[in-house]
Amino acid sequence: MPEMGFIEAPQWLVPAFTRSARAIGADAPTHLIESVAEGLVASWSSPDRFHHAIKHLVDVLASIDQLAEETHDPDVVRIAGWYHGAEFTALARASYAHKGGEDTMASAERARRELPELGISPTIVERIAAMIAQIHRHSASTVDVDAQALSDADLAGLACEPQKYAAYRKNIRAEYAHIPAEDYLEARIAILRKLTDRPKIFCSPMGRQWEEPARENIAAELSRLTVELERVEAASQGPDADPAAGGPEAGAPVDVTDVAEAARLRRDALSPDPRAARGYTSTLGRSPRPDPRS
């Protein structure tokens, strides 16, 4: 049975990359284009990914298709979608430095390295890299409809039905299973509040169909996380704390004790940064807040 967050790459995925690459000017032999696509599939399939994995790539491409009619060049947006999270890390050092998750800067640089080898023009390559860079904080330019579509496609999963959103929550937590519960909860709450504090989460005209369901899902998650954080904080105060605020799962990751343990075992097998479990200390002597981004 596939592990949580993992699916086999669909057979249509590599041919889809090839079609989009050809559409934006790639003139390299097909086997070279397919080789780049297979390298991207391998990156998206790395075993340290639970949410930011092949299924997320497929979902982003599907969402781009939904928004395609309002883009200037949908195939440019599709190739940017392939690269937007090609580079990824959830190691503690990156997470506590607010660089965890999809590394958009490294992903943009990878596009700059690989796409010219396929014969794609420097202008289009730079356009793709610039679009990817705008995903970093989902701050697409108000006059760049292609970047808006890419950003909205990346966030579209926030608007899924509640059962799928529950799986998404678990997958996000599993990617950061090595982060202590209190640190994770504080960081996740801060990130979600930043999203909901925005006048709008989705910036493209068609993407606004996802606004209401996304806000409902986020509100429900914030409610769960706030309760869990209160339990973790109460448990950390020791046996004199309010018993009603504790419980056997007070220090466990949100709703995913078994998933978190599986993630730890799998990450250990990958020889992670040996300092990951310890976190990193700021000049104030406290661990900085990690950054489990969506």
Mean pLDDT of 258-281: 39
CB atoms within 10 A of CB 140: 21
| Confidence category of residue 244, pLDDT binned at 50, 70, 90 | very low
Average pLDDT over residues 76-84: 98
pLDDT (0 to 100) of residue 239: 61
Dist CA 252 CA 119 (whole Å): 50
* Per-residue pLDDT at 4 exceeds 70: no
H helix count then E strand count, the chain: 12, 2
Residue 234 and residue 241 in contact, taking contact as beta carbons nearer than 8 Å: yes
Residue 169 three-state SS: helix
With a cut of 90, say whether residue 12 has pLDDT above it. Answer: yes
What is the model's pLDDT at position 289? Answer: 55
Integer Cα distance of 241 and 294 in angstroms: 33
Contact by Cβ (8 Å): 155, 201: yes
CA-angle at 292, arms to 189 and 160, nearest 5°: 75
Q: Taking 90 as the threshold, does the pLDDT of residue 267 lie above it? A: no
- Report strand pairing: 101-102 vs 88-89: antiparallel
- pTM, two decimals, is 0.79
Q: How far apart are CA 139 and CA 203, in angstroms?
A: 9
Judged against a pLDDT cut of 60, whether residue 264 lies above it is answered with: no
141-155 pLDDT, tens per residue? 888 999 999 999 999
- CB atoms near residue 150 (< 10 Å): 29
Block residue for tokens 């509040």:
193
Torsion sign over Cα 259, 264, 269, 271: positive
CA 217/CA 80 separation, integer angstroms: 27
Q: At residue 6, does pLDDT exceed 60?
A: no
Which of 173, 138, 174, 172 minimizes the C-alpha distance to 153? Answer: 138
Which residues make Cβ contacts (< 8 Å) with residue 147, sequence separation at least 6?
130, 131, 134, 140, 141
Whether residue 269 is predicted with pLDDT greater than 90 in this model: the reply is: no
Q: Strand runs (DSSP E) across the chain, as ranges?
A: 88-89, 101-102
Q: Are the CB atoms for 176 and 276 separated by under 8 Å?
A: no
Distance CA 189, CA 234 (A): 17
Q: Tell me the longest C-alpha to C-alpha distance in the chain.
A: 70
Q: Which residue has the tokens 């299924």?
A: 55
- Residue range 101-150, pLDDT digits in tens: 788 999 999 999 999 999 999 999 999 999 999 887 787 888 899 999 99
8 A C-beta contact, residue 91 and residue 44: no
pLDDT at residue 3 greater than cutoff 50:
no
Is the pLDDT confidence value at 20 over 70? yes
Q: What is the pLDDT at residue 268?
A: 46
CA nearest neighbour of 133 among 183, 125, 33:
125
| End-to-end Cα distance, the chain | 26
pLDDT tens for 33-71 read: 999 999 999 999 999 899 999 999 999 999 999 999 999
Count CB-CB contacts under 10 A for residue 228.
23
- Position with higher pLDDT, 99 vs 166: 166
Residue with tokens 């599709």: 78
Q: Which of 85-94, 191-200, 232-241, 278-287 has the lowest mean pLDDT?
A: 278-287
